[in-house]
Amino acid sequence: MQNNPEFLNKSRVPSLTGESPSSIKHDSRNQLGGESLMIIGVPKEIKTSENRVGLVESGVKAFVREGHKVLIEKDAGVGSGITNTQYEKCGATILDSKKEVYDKADMIVKVKEPLPEEYSMLRENQILYTYLHLAPEPVLTKALLDRKVKGVAYETIQLEDGSLPLLVPMSEVAGRMSTQVGASYLQRDRGGKGILLGGVPGVKRGRVTILGGGISGTNAAKMAVGLGAQVTILDINPKRLEYLDDIFGGKVQTLFSNITNIEQTVPETDLLIGAVLVPGAKAPHLVTREMISHMEKGSVVVDIAVDQGGCIETCRPTSHKEPTFEVEGVIHYCVPNMPGVFSRTSTYALTNVTLKYGLMLANMGVEDACAKDKALYKGLNVYNGFVAYEQVARDLGLPYKPLKV
């Protein structure tokens, strides 16, 4: 339907312009031969222990109100506490199979990137609206290019002030969780060195080092300070360091992120949290294996940035089923979909921010929506067989061809 010139000519932004939904003529036919403007498909997530879902009840209502049709794979919402009946009451249709959802939908709304078993279900011109994290993923990128999918990645939708509004809520969850998870792996019975982060009167507190003081790093620090740990945050952005120094009022040590400061701090750390991001790019390896080897045995690493390749050399992606491994006697926790297990909090937090852009894509189509909204334009990662996001193209050594708007 996206190729239908009639559809494009009649594109609109009711929710943003205030145009009344009742004034909209449903004039395009869709995959079902019906009258909805676009068919939105929500498959059940299949990544290990991924319990989030791409749309909640209010999201279904919003798409339906705008004249779209919403298809939800059976039980897609169960992990987030949303039943099939609840979705149906909001106007969605429940389909038994994932393939049916992919076959019929003009736009797929998901949480995590498609997995290999889903690649063949994607088709040319279908809009894929989800987290993609393509820079460290050549195989996934090739699959999306081969199938000429229009891939809009949540994590690169970027406002003019540089902020990433669709990454923020999940970074808040992952940041808070990183301290919680790391603290538990420091327990002796979980393989850790037996340090309680807050210590007790008369005994030293645990030391937490956070690389990257952005959204996830700041949230990790909030939890660590709350537990009474001794916290150090390293960042390369002096303005951010100034801000952190102000908001924590002397309760954290801020340090400029350079090799000397990292080399000195890492060996003295009980819990090391990786939280750096260069938007769209593969994460830089700031901590080497050599530095990890100087940490005490039973120390813990949580690399939140593992979804962008990780900022700690010894990290590799794990899953919620087997979240940790050991290198040089140091426990590594590197789960790329951390919020997936706090699904009821995370699904609602995520869909609060994705719906606005999802509606724009459905109402206008990718091309017009990207032409109208600069933030959304930055979300476009693959289009018509080419990488449309410069940093991803550079990291993967692929040609960069931005969408002309």
Ligand X SMILES: NC(=O)c1ccc[n+]([C@@H]2O[C@H](COP(=O)([O-])OP(=O)(O)OC[C@H]3O[C@@H](n4cnc5c(N)ncnc54)[C@H](O)[C@@H]3O)[C@@H](O)[C@H]2O)c1
Cα gap 349→334, rounded to integer Å = 22
Q: Compute how many residues bind ligand X; rule: CB under 6 A.
A: 34
Pattern 111-130, ligand X, x by CB under 6 A: --------------------
Beta-carbon contacts of 192 under 8 Å, excluding residues fewer than 6 positions away, are 185, 186, 298, 299, 300, 331
Cα gap 173→341, rounded to integer Å = 10
Residue 252, H or E segment: strand 252-256
317 binds ligand X (CB under 6 A): no
Interface segment toward ligand X; rule CB under 6 A; list 63-71, 213-221, 247-255, 363-371: 213-221
CB of 292 to ligand X, least distance (A): 17
Under a CB-based contact definition with an 8 Å cutoff, are residues 293 and 331 in contact? no
> Which of 196, 349 has the CB closer to ligand X?
349
Q: Is 280 left (phi over 0), alpha (psi -120 to 50) or beta?
A: left
> Which of 304, 393 has the CB closer to ligand X?
304
Residue 84, H or E segment: helix 84-89
CB of 300 to ligand X, least distance (A): 15
339 binds ligand X (CB under 6 A): yes
> Which of 77, 214 has the CB closer to ligand X?
214
216 binds ligand X (CB under 6 A): yes
Instruction: State both tokens at 292.
Output: 């990890």
Selecting among 307, 368, 373, 395, the annotated active-site residue is: 307
Strand order from edge to edge, sheet including 330-333: 252-256, 230-235, 207-211, 271-274, 300-303, 330-333, 324-327
- Sequence letter at residue 367: E
Interface pick for ligand X out of 1, 70, 215, 380 (rule CB under 6 A): 215
Q: What is the DSSP string of 124-180?
A: TT-EEEE----TT-HHHHHHHHHTT-EEEEGGG---TTS--TTTHHHHHHHHHHHHH
Is 307 annotated as catalytic?
yes
- Taking alpha carbons only, the member of 46, 37, 99 closest to residue 70 is 37
Pattern 222-241, ligand X, x by CB under 6 A: ------------xxxx--x-
Q: Which residue is nearest to ligand X (CB)?
A: 214
CB of 140 to ligand X, least distance (A): 15
Task: Please report, for residues 236, 311, 376, the alpha-carbon distance to residue 298 in angstroms, rounded to integers and kept in the order given.
Answer: 28, 20, 44
User: In this structure, are strands 324-327 and 330-333 parallel, antiparallel, or unpaired?
Assistant: antiparallel
Pattern 265-294, ligand X, x by CB under 6 A: ----------xxxx-----x-x--------
304 binds ligand X (CB under 6 A): yes
CB of 111 to ligand X, least distance (A): 11
Selecting among 68, 106, 133, 368, the annotated active-site residue is: 133
Pattern 134-173, ligand X, x by CB under 6 A: ---------------------x-----------x--xx--
Determine the 3-state secondary structure of 387 from DSSP: strand
| Site residues, ligand X (CB under 6 A) | 155, 167, 170-171, 174, 211-217, 234-237, 240, 257, 275-278, 284, 286, 304-308, 335-339
User: Which residues are the active-site residues?
Assistant: 133, 307
